[in-house]
Chains A and B, each alone.
Chain A
Amino acid sequence: MSLHSIPAPVSAPHTTTANTVSRVMATVMLALAPATLFGFWLYGWPAIYLWVITVASAMLGEAFCLRLMQRPATPILMDGSAALTGWLLALSLPPWAPWWIGVLGGLFATVLSKQVFGGLGQNLFNPAMVARVALLISFPVQMTSWVGPLPLDAVTAPGPLAGLLITFKGMPPGLDAMTSASLLGFAKTEMSRGIDLLQSLTQAPALSWIGSRPGSLGETAGWLIAAGGVAMMALRVITWHIPVAMLLGIAVPAAILHAIDPAHYMSATTHVFSGGVLLGAFFIATDYVTSPNTPRGQLIFGAGCGLLTWVIRTWAGYPEGVAFAVLLMNSLTPIIDSYVKPRIYGRDRKGTALEPVK
Chain B
Amino acid sequence: MGLIERFFKEPRWGVHPDDHKRPAADAPLRMLPPPARLYMPLHQHVGGAARPIVLVGQKVLKGELLADAQGNISAPIHAPVSGTISAIGEVTAPHPSGLGFAAITIDNDFAGRWIETDPVSDPFALAPEEIARRTGKAGVVGLGGATFPAAIKFALGKRLQVGTLIVNGGECEPYLSSDDRIMRDHADQVIDGARIVMHAIGAREALVGIEDNKPEAIAAMRIAAAPFPEVKIRPVPARYPMGSDKQLIQTLTGKEVPADARAAEVGVLVHNVSTCAAVHKAIRLGQPLVERIVTLNGGAVKTPGNLFVPLGTLVDELLDFVGRVATPARLILGGPMMGTPLLHGRIPLVKGASGILAFDAQEALIPAAGPCIRCGSCTRACPMGLLPIEMAAHIRAGDLDGAVGFHLSDCISCGCCAYVCPSHIPLVQYFSHAKGELMTKERAKLRSEATRRLAEARVERVERETREKAAAAARRKAERDAAKAKTAAAALATTPVTQVEGEIA
Contact = CB atoms under 8 A, between A and B. Distances in A.
A9 B419 CA distance: 17
Contact of A345 (B250, B340, B343, B373): B250
Interface string B255-267: 1111111000111
Given A13-B338, A17-B420, A288 B266 contact: no
B266 A358 contact: yes
Contacts, number: 183
B384 interface: yes
B346 A3 contact: yes
A320 B459 CA distance: 76
4 tightest CB-CB pairs across the interface, nearest first?
A: A9-B341, A13-B415, A346-B259, A353-B259
Interface string B317-357: 10000000001111110001111111111100000000001
A345 B261 CA distance: 12
Contacts of B266: 356-358
Contacts of B250: 345
Interface stretch (B149-157, B216-224, B358-366, B482-490): B358-366
A21 B370 contact: yes
A248 to B, nearest CB: 21
Interface residues of A, number: 47
Contacts of B255: 357
Interface string A67-99: 000000000000101000000000000000000
Contacts of A194: none
A120 to B, nearest CB: 5
Interface string B293-329: 0000000000000000000001011000000000111
A11 interface: yes
B443 interface: no
A352 to B, nearest CB: 8
B23 interface: no
A15 B374 contact: no
Contacts of B359: 14
Interface in B175-229: none
A294 interface: yes
A79 B372 CA distance: 12
Contact of A344 (B336, B343, B370, B386): B386
B34 interface: no
Interface in A1-34: 1-7, 9-17, 19-21, 23-24
A345 B380 CA distance: 13
Interface stretch (B230-238, B424-432, B460-468): B424-432
Nearest to A23: B422
A118 B327 CA distance: 41
Contact of A13 (B328, B337, B383): B337
B428 A288 contact: no
Given A345-B384, A345-B410, A288 B344 contact: no
B261 A353 contact: yes
A79 B371 CA distance: 11
Contacts of A14: 330, 332, 336-337, 339, 341, 357, 359, 364, 366
Contacts of A354: 256, 258-259
Contact of B379 (A19, A293, A346): A293
Contacts of A353: 258-261
Contacts of B343: 6, 9
Given A16-B419, A345-B246, A358-B265, 14 more contacts: A1-B345, A4-B345, A11-B341, A13-B336, A14-B336, A17-B421, A19-B420, A20-B422, A20-B424, A121-B374, A288-B375, A342-B382, A344-B386, A358-B267
A2 B265 CA distance: 49
A355 interface: yes
Contacts of B96: 9, 11
Most chain B beta-carbon contacts within 10 A, residue among A10, A15, A346: A15
A119 interface: yes
Nearest to B381: A17
A341 B376 CA distance: 12
A3 B336 contact: no
A10 B426 contact: yes
A355 B382 CA distance: 22
B314 A13 contact: no
Contact of A294 (B339, B376, B413): B376
A355 B338 CA distance: 29
B405 to A, nearest CB: 9
Nearest to A289: B374
B112 interface: no
B49 interface: no
B394 interface: no
B428 A79 contact: no
Interface of B: 15, 17, 96, 163, 174, 246, 250, 255-261, 265-267, 314, 316-317, 327-332, 336-346, 357, 359, 363-364, 366-367, 370-377, 379-380, 382-387, 389-390, 407, 410, 413, 415, 418-424, 426, 428-429, 432
A37 to B, nearest CB: 26
Contacts of A345: 246, 250, 256-257, 259, 383-385, 410
A351 interface: yes
B330 to A, nearest CB: 6
A174 B348 CA distance: 86
A3 B367 CA distance: 26
A21 B423 contact: yes
B330 A6 contact: yes
A343 interface: yes
Contacts of A169: none
B256 A293 contact: no
A289 B376 contact: no
B328 A15 contact: no
21 contacts: A6-B331, A9-B341, A12-B338, A13-B415, A13-B418, A15-B363, A20-B423, A24-B422, A121-B373, A122-B371, A289-B373, A293-B374, A341-B387, A343-B385, A345-B246, A345-B385, A346-B246, A346-B258, A346-B384, A353-B259, A354-B258
B408 to A, nearest CB: 11
A1 B367 contact: no
Interface string A266-293: 0000000000000000000000110001
A346 B247 CA distance: 11
A10 B366 contact: yes
Which of A11, A119, A356 has the most chain B CB within a 10 Å cutoff? A11
A212 B114 CA distance: 86
A289 B372 CA distance: 9
Contact of A4 (B163, B344, B377, B428): B344
A353 B314 CA distance: 43
B328 A4 contact: yes
Contacts of A19: 377, 420, 422
B264 to A, nearest CB: 9
Contacts of B380: 295
B141 to A, nearest CB: 21
B403 to A, nearest CB: 14
Contacts of B336: 12-15
A12 B373 contact: no
A293 B338 contact: no
A346 B338 contact: no
